[in-house]
Every structure is written in structure tokens, then in C-alpha cells.
Structure 1
Amino acid sequence: MPLTPLDIHNKEFGRRLRGYDEDDVNEFLDQIIKDYELYIRENKELQSQVASLQERLDHFANIEETLSKTIIVAQEAADEVRNNSKKEAQLIVKEAEKNADRIINESLSKSRKIALEIEELKKQASIYRTRFKTLVEAQLELLGTDQWDSLEVKENQA
């Protein structure tokens, strides 16, 4: 157990013949007591400062740990957002490709249908032309026959 200033003050030394001067010893002990009290006070102040600094250090260590965790969580969130964005972009591209394929297929189908309709109309026009030509030729042939002359004579007689 360490000495206290009171222990030093109350210390009694035995007396011997030709010993030290009692006043010098007491004066020296008084100086030791003052210095010892000063060191004890300084030690308490330093311990208080160490405790305060340790408390601040612990506080900053907690802040650092919290910031580290926050950065990790933010990084993970950013990674998740980036991954989700990539997936969403891929889905959008796939959907656009599907729509483009559908539009192209519909356009090709309509184009084929229109081409078939055009061919059908050409065939019908050709048939109509042939029939009309045949009809006109038949009428011209009919006009060129003698039957018209006989019809004209019958009309004049009537």
C-alpha cells in the first residue's frame, strides 16, 4: 500500500546519539509531504485526463465503427441497385427485342397478304380483260354478220 502524505507526516524516527538534526529532518519531511501531495494531485488530474481522453477515444472508435458499417451498407445498397438496374435494363432490351420481332413478323405477314391480294387482283383483272375482249370481239363479229342487215330491213318494213 502506497504512502500517504499523512503517513509521512506522522512518521516518527527513533533517536540515537549523534543522530540527524531533528529540525532538518522535519523540514525535509515537510518538503517531501508538499512534493508528494503535488504529485498525487497531478497524478489524479492526469488519470482524470486519461479517463476523459479514453472516453473520447472510445466515442470516436464507435463513430468510426458506425461509419464503417454505414459505408459497407451503402456500398451493398449501391451494388444491389446497380445489379437491379442491369437486370431491369436486360429485361427492357429483351422486351424491346420481342416487340421488334413481333412488329417485323406482323409486317412480313401483312406484306405477304397484300402481295397475295395484288396477285389475286392481277388475275381477276386479266380474267376481266380476257372476258371483256372476248365480249367485244363477239360483238364486233356479230356486227360484221349479215344478220344485222336483215334486222334493218325488217325495221324499215314495219
Structure 2
Amino acid sequence: MLTLSDIENAVFRRAGRAGYNGEDVDNFLQQVRVSYEALIKNNLEQKEKIALLSSENDSLKKENTTLSTQVQQYRDEEDEIKHALISAQKLGDASIREARHKAEIILKDAELQAQSVVAEARGKIGDYETELEQLKRSVSDFRASLLDMYRKHLVLIDALPSQRPARKEEKPAPADEEPAKKEEPAQPEAEPEAKPQEEPAPAEPQPAPEKEETEYTDVSGFGAPEPRKETKDRRYDKLKFGDNYDITQDPDSPVDIFNRK
């Protein structure tokens, strides 16, 4: 049998002038090569299909064998069941009625027990739901009271004075009184308490009130107060609410703050 290589490498002898045209021979050989190559490719594909079909056929045969075995088992079981039914029928109608009666009793007992278990479970569920509602109300009341106390504490903290008390300075020695007075800024003297208007001062000159020794704080180191800007009060911006909020787990909450250190 010729191979594809034999067809491609075929050489023809020329018979003088009456020989075949070389171009026609080459074209024909090209056609033969293409056709033969397609034939070989088709043959290989057919072989692969045959192998695949053979494999599927083997699988189907195995499956058929398995199904046949199962069918035989079912038939054997069917025969056994038939023999068992025949044997049961031979025991008589009395035995069958007794078995049915026992089955009915067992079913009734099972139904009664199931109803009792279901009723008990429903009662427990109702108790648990009531207890859960009570716990929810208790938690809600505790949260509300805790938040109310938290707000009150914030109000009290906000009401605390923020000014520091004046720092007492030691009195200078009499000899150094003049330089000390020059260094200290001029401070207004304490004004005497005004008398009620019901008693107007007479025309007579009143004695000058005694000067009280007033302690002054050196404020030269403090800069001029900056104008206060109106800002939004953000103390209550971080208040958190909700059923899923646990104030004891909040790192920003003041509750139990000393135990977390």
C-alpha cells in the first residue's frame, strides 16, 4: 500500500517528446496527496469513534449485567415475600386481627404521647416567651435609667467650674515694696459694697472704707483671650442607643471605667 510519502516523492520518466506534461502530473500528484491525506485522517477519526463506541458498549454491558443482577435479586425477594404472605395467611384471620388491634393501640398511645409532648413544649415556649419579654423590658428599663443617669452626670460635670483658683503669692519684704509695685500690673481696687437705695447717702462726707488686702495673680504671662466662637455642642453626639447596643462593651462609655484600666 502506498504511503503519503511515496505519493509525494513519486518520479515519472519522460518518454521523449511524447511524454506526459510534467505540470499536469505534479498537479495530479498534489490532488492524490490531499485526497489520501483526508482519507487517512478520516480513517483515524473513524477508529477513534469505534474505540469510543466500544468503550461505551462495554460500559452498557456492565450496566446491563448489574441491572440484570438487581432484577434477579428483586425477583428473589418477591418470591420470598410471596412465601411470607402465604405463611401469614395460613396463621389465620385471628392472628391478623390481633396484630391489627395491637397496632392500633400502639398508634393511639404514640399519638397521645406526641400530643402531650407537644402541649408541654408549647407551654414551655409560652413561659420562655413571657420570661424573654420580661427580660427585654427589664433591660430596656435599666438602659433608660442608666442613660438618664449618664445624662445627669454629664450635666453635673458641665456645671462644674472650670476656672482655677488664684495662686497666692508671697508678700514681698517692705524694702522691696516699691519695685514689686512697679512690676505688677495695675489692678482695680475692691469697690465697697453698695448700700441699698432706700437709704440715700447724706450730704455729709462718708468715711473712706478701709482697704482690704487683696491678693493678686500675675496674669502678664497669659495672652489676650481669644474671641469665643459659637460651636455646636458635641457632648451628646456620641450617645448610642438601640436593642443591640451594650453599654458595658462600649470603650467610650464611662460605665465601669475604673475596672477597665
> Scaled by the length of structure 1, what TM-score is found?
0.53
For the residues of structure 2 that align with 1:85 and 1:68, how far apart are their CA atoms? 25
- Deviations along 1:45-98, whole A, 9 cap, x unmatched? 1110121112112211221222122112211111112112312432x22996xx
For the residues of structure 2 that align with 1:19 and 1:58, how far apart are their CA atoms? 57
How is 1:6-155 mapped onto 2 (pairs within 5 angstroms)? 6-17=5-16, 18-90=18-90, 92-93=91-92
Q: Percent identity?
A: 29
The one-letter code sitting in structure 1 at the alignment partner of 2:64 is E
Moved more, 34-43 or 81-90: 81-90
For the residues of structure 2 that align with 1:3 and 1:93, how far apart are their CA atoms? 86
The one-letter code sitting in structure 2 at the alignment partner of 1:53 is L
The one-letter code sitting in structure 1 at the alignment partner of 2:14 is R
For the residues of structure 1 that align with 2:73 and 2:2, how far apart are their CA atoms? 55
For the residues of structure 1 that align with 2:93 and 2:60, how far apart are their CA atoms? 50
Higher relative contact order (CA 8 A, sep 6+): 1
- Deviations along 1:76-135, whole A, 9 cap, x unmatched? 111112112312432x22996xxxxxxxxxxxxxxxxxxxxxxxxxxxxxxxxxxxxxxx
For the residues of structure 2 that align with 1:78 and 1:54, how far apart are their CA atoms? 35
- In structure 1, stretches of 5+ residues that fail to align are 97-158
* Structure 2 match to 1:5: 4
How well do the aligned residues superpose, as a CA RMSD in angstroms?
A: 2.0
For the residues of structure 2 that align with 1:45 and 1:31, how far apart are their CA atoms? 21
**Runs of 4+ more than 3 Å apart:** none
For the residues of structure 2 that align with 1:3 and 1:56, how far apart are their CA atoms? 34
> Scaled by the length of structure 2, what TM-score is found?
0.33
Aligned length: 94
* Structure 2 match to 1:105: none
